[in-house]
Amino acid sequence: MNNDVSLTDKIKSMSRDELIKLQAFIGGLIDNAAPVADAAAPQGKVKAKRQHSAAFVEIKTIKGRRYAYRRWYEGGKFRSEYIGPANE
């Protein structure tokens, strides 16, 4: 359990920009992970739709201000999700 505490401490000490990048990285891992089968779901063949590329964070400057966006490809389309202002 010591590893969990040190990981928590490391995350708590990260800057906002580092946390935004971590959030996008974890989001990409979740998007690419196979779904967990629901115990109440009927048993049988389950096809998992998997994403082929991981998400990434893009920092855009608009009217002199920086904003973070999570970007990824899904179903052949480029997707984007606004994360929030990016601090320097």
Nearest to 82 by CA among 49, 45, 57, 54: 57
Q: Pick the residue with more confidence: 31 or 85?
A: 85
What's the confidence (pLDDT) of residue 38? 53
Residue at 78 is within a domain: yes
Residue at 44 is within a domain: no
Residue at 41 is within a domain: no
Residue at 61 is within a domain: yes
**Is pLDDT at 1 greater than 50 in this prediction?**
no
Residue at 75 is within a domain: yes
What is the pTM for the complete model shown?
0.43
Residue at 8 is within a domain: no
Q: Which two tokens stand for residue 20?
A: 């935004």
Q: Please, which pLDDT band fits residue 75 given cuts at 50, 70 and 90? A: confident
- Which residue segment(s) compose the domain that 60 sits in? 15-33+53-88
**Is pLDDT at 32 greater than 80 in this prediction?**
no
Count: domains in the chain: 1
Q: In sequence order, which residues have a C-beta less than 8 Å from that of residue 54 and are 6 or more positions away?
A: 25, 28, 29, 31, 32, 72
